[in-house]
Each structure stands twice: as structure tokens, then as C-alpha cells.
Chain A
Amino acid sequence: METRQINCRPGEVAGRGHDLAIEVGGLHQRYGSFEAVRGISFSVRQGELFALLGTNGAGKTTTMEVLEGFAKPGDGQVRVLGLDPWRQRRALRPRMGILHQDAGFIGDLTVAETVDMWRGMSADAGRGTIDNALALVDLENKAKTKVRQLSGGQKRRLDLALAVLARPEVLFLDEPTTGMDPEARVATWRVIQSLRTEGTTVLLTTHYLEEAERLADHLAIMHEGRIHTYGTVDEVVAAAGDQVTFRLAVSAAEAKTRFPQGLPFVAGNAPLVTYAADHLQAVYTLDDGHPGDRAQAAMRTLLSWSDQSGVTLERLEVRRGTLEDVFMRVVGEVR
């Protein structure tokens, strides 16, 4: 798959109109001589969950910080709920929730006191009780525990409780499930999904591709300050193509003698071949045509080739590409 920098002008993404909760246009952000974000554009519709993926240092957190109003945009345009997060921070803050990648608590306060303090400083504090907030993240039995005694995962859940306390219109989640056990992670996903159902717009960054695949409506893969892939999860995954893998019980030396012409091309694609002591494995990535058709055609070609060559296929499998395939390709190609 060819990767390229995507620059979707705000309002032009997927034919969207004026129901945009987040708009980023040509954003550049520089720290001294280092350009952390290099002209990215994307938009997020109201009620949508948008995932920003990327390796460490890709520019995700910098982008989030600009959108949250912590940093003045270096160049380009940024709007959240139609407001400038840097200049109109005061008007915007009551309408947004933020879960930072790392933010501290006052360790001497109990969990309930922490939520109570935060409720007292939230615009819509009357909506939920402390018990409700703690029940949402399954921390009811820790209400009287001092925050410093919580585990990392429990602190992350408390983080989430505080971020969603005022039922924000836009929620920024910077790696929300880092440090959580699998059970807590799934529970957190349920909370995020329920907020989305209620109409909250969510911008999520995560290292867990499964998380993005499960939660996101749209996603973008960032690398070295640029967006390289953008689309719905299905669109992005479809772009990964099918992977057709076969294995033959021949060594590298034998293969050279038996297949002097080399291994066959499938739909114009050469295989990626790896050799072990007693076998070789060939992987074809097919990203043209319809998924079903191209896989079937590939298998027909390979079966016919094996018949003609008189070799037995030890293994032949077809699998749909995954988000991880796309991610690794983006990162690999750019490198």
C-alpha cells in the first residue's frame, strides 16, 4: 500500500458539512528547531469517535495539546466546537473533558474527596453524585482510600471518572487504558462507547490498535508529524489488502534448483519470501480489486502452479489485512 501525507481540509473530509466538533487545518507545531507536527488537517464530526494512532513522537500528544488549548497553534487553524481553544479557552473548558496521558493527583485526598473537589469545579456538577461517578469506573469500594494508595490502573480509572464527570460535549482521551488490566480495559471501552452513544465527540490517542479498531469511527495514522493514512476503520483495514501465505517443504538451496524461474507472481505481486532450514514461506499482499475475488484468484494461481511444479503446499492460508499491517507498513515505509 502506498502511504502518503493526507491533508483533508476541515469540512471536506468525507463530504462532511457544518456538524464538525473538531477542525484542524494545516497545523504546524514547532519546539525550537524540532517540528513536532508538520501541516496536518483532519476533522471530527459531532458524536464521532476519532482515533489518532502513531508511534511515540509521532505528534499525537502535541496535536491534542493544541486542541485542548494548552499550546498556541504554531501555524494553521484549529477549532473545537467552533471555538479557538487557545483564545476562547474559558468558554470552551466547561464543554470539554480531558484525560491526560500523565497528570497527577493530590495523594493525601481520598478518592471520594478528589471526585467531590472536581465536581465542585465542574459546570454541570449537579448531574451526578460521587457514587455514580465512582460506579461508572468501578471504584465504589475505593471511595475512602487515599489516592496515593491506588494502583496505576485504578488511578487511570479515576482519571476517566474526572474527565467525564461534567458530561462534556468533547472528550480528549490520551492513551486512556495504559496501565490497565484487560478486564478494566474492556470496562473502560464500555464507558467510552456509552458516552459516544449519548452524543459525546471523542478524540482518542492510543498505542493499542485493537482499541482503535474496536472503538473508532474514523482514524488517522500519524508518523513523524504527518498524517499518512486516514479513513474509517474498514477503509483503512481494506487498504491493507489480503495476505496470502503458503509454505513449501523445501530448503533455500533446493528452491533455487527446483524453481529456477523463482516463485510465481500473483496478480502482479511478487512474494515476500523467508527461508528456514527445511522450508520456505512466501507471503503475497494483495491490495487491488475486491477482497474475495483477489484472494480466490490468488489461490487458484498458486494451486495451479504447485500442480505444474509437482510440489505439495504444506500450508496455504488467506487472511484479511489488519490495522496492525497498515500501521507497520506506514511506519516501515516512512523509515
Chain B
Amino acid sequence: MKTDVLHAVRLARMDMTVLGRNQTALVNVLLLPLLMAWMFTTLYDRGEIGGVPGGLFILTGLPSMMLGFAVFVNLVNSFTARREELVLKRLRGGQPSAVAIFGGAGLSAFLIFAVQMVLVAVWSSRIEGGAMPANIPLMVVTGLLGVAVFALIAAAFSGITRNAELAQVAVVPVLLVIMIGSPLMVPLSVFPEPLQIIAKFIPSTPVTEVMRTAHLGRDFIGEGGQTLTTAQQWIEALPSLGVLVLWIGIGALLAKWLFRWDPRHG
């Protein structure tokens, strides 16, 4: 276990070094979501949504979109490219276990996500009606679960993506589902009835709702929007966290089934 953690940290450090040298990846993973965040908040910065200023509502729901870019897009590209370049084969032939290899990739993705979250938190505190997050531990737990879900889905998705070029396109539908199918810009109650039920079980929805609740200290998981104590926030978040745990199970099964260490032939 200790060895796996050490290896995962080593691999994450390598990922960060490589990311720092790849300007295209840096823009796609780190800057593009921030740019989109700025665009969304500018567009919707009128009136109130769910009882809070529009810009603040959107900013506090952005973590799910950040997960889409920093974790899902990043890891689908990384796993696919490294599989095709036979880097995964080399890693698999060395001493790191599969757990360490996945852990390293997940850790580096989490670090990128964390940087974005800090930037969004500071940004949120400086706009109208904003404040620093009310429940950071709940945000960290949700973030970790969210990273685990999207990292596993990315591993599975890379298995059905033929090459690195295709990976750039293949991730778009999933990003769209994250952005349109979860209450990123409008509350879930605005969605048509059947879509509400489906959206509730998309992994980005619990992330959006719990992150928003933890940030603003108000209930954005249920309908009310009323102020919650820290304990109430945890209690209110439990079903959503349960959905994420369920998704971790689904993601792990999908990854085990679809992930490939060696390139696809033919």
C-alpha cells in the first residue's frame, strides 16, 4: 500500500512536469474551463437564480464542468495517447501496480482540479453576494469522489477510443451532457419532469448540487435554498454522495471491462 502511494505520487509528479511542458494541454485542461466560466458568468450575470445572484449561482456549480475538463478530458487523452505510444506497456512492465498507475493519473488530475477550485473560490468571494466557501471539508470529499468517478469513466472511455486524435472529439458528447444535463446554469427544478429524474443520476449533478450547497451554505440539493448548518449540509448531501459512490462502482466495473493497456490493432 505504502509503495503504491509512493509510486502514485511519483507518477503524478511526472504528469505535472509533462503538463507544464505541453502548452496545448495546459490551455485545454487548465485555462479553457476558466475561460468558459468567465463567459457563462458574464452571460448570465443578470437577476437571481435559485435565490442567489446569477453569476454566483453559476460559479459555485462550475466544479462539475471543471471535473469534465481537468479529469475526464485530460485522462481520456492521456490514457489513450500513452496506450498508443506504448508508455502504459512500459509502466505495466515496471514495478508500479495498476492501482499506482491509475492513482498517479487520478492524483495529478485532482491537483489540477484543486487549483481550479481555489481560483473559482477566490473568484466567487469577490463577486456580488459572494463569500468564501462555507463547508470546505464537504467540498473536498465531494471533489475526491467526483475525481474518482470521472477518472474511472475516463479509463473506460479511453478503452473504446481508437487514438489520441479521436479522443479530442470523442469526449465532446460527455462534456455536453455534463454542461447541459446537470444544474450548472439553472436549478434542476427548471428541467422538464422526465429529464429531472435522468439528470439526478448523472454523476455531474450530485457534484454540482453538493458543491454549491457546501460553498453557499444553503440547500441547493433539495428545493428550498434555505440556509443550512454544517451538520445539515452533510446530512442533506448524503444521498448525493451515495450516488457518487454508486458511480464509482459502475466506473470501476466499466474500467475493468473496457480499459486496455496495449494498443488496439486492426
Contact = CB atoms under 8 A, between A and B. Distances in A.
Contacts of B17: 108-109, 113
Contacts of A94: 95
Contacts of A305: none
Interface in B1-43: 6-7, 10-11, 14, 17-18, 21-22
Contact of A106 (B7, B14, B89): B14
B79 to A, nearest CB: 13
A97 to B, nearest CB: 9
A103 B96 contact: no
B18 A106 contact: yes
A81 B94 CA distance: 17
Interface residues of B, number: 22
B95 A68 contact: no
Contacts of A102: 86, 89
Given A104-B82, A121-B10, A70 B92 contact: yes
B264 to A, nearest CB: 15
Interface SS of chain B: helix
Contacts of A103: 86-87, 89-90, 93
Contact of A108 (B18, B95, B97): B18
A120 B10 contact: yes
Interface string A238-251: 00000000000000
Interface string B142-163: 0000000000000000000000
A118 B91 CA distance: 9
Nearest to B97: A90
B90 A123 contact: no
Contacts of B100: 121
A94 B3 CA distance: 11
Contact of B94 (A70, A93, A105, A106): A93
Contacts of B6: 120-121
Given A106-B14, A109-B18, A121 B89 contact: no
A109 B14 contact: yes
B90 A121 contact: no
A122 interface: yes
A105 B10 contact: no
A66 interface: no
Contact of A98 (B7, B22, B86, B93): B93
B85 interface: yes
B10 A117 contact: yes
Contacts of B92: 70
Going nearest first, the 8 A-B pairs with the smallest beta carbon separation are A104-B86, A104-B85, A103-B90, A98-B93, A104-B87, A120-B10, A108-B21, A108-B18
Given A104-B82, A121-B95, 17 more contacts: A68-B93, A93-B94, A93-B95, A98-B93, A100-B90, A103-B93, A104-B89, A105-B85, A107-B85, A108-B18, A109-B18, A113-B17, A118-B94, A121-B100, A162-B90, A162-B94, A166-B95
19 contacts: A90-B97, A94-B95, A98-B93, A100-B89, A103-B89, A103-B90, A104-B82, A104-B85, A104-B86, A104-B87, A105-B87, A106-B14, A108-B22, A118-B94, A120-B7, A121-B7, A121-B96, A121-B100, A122-B95
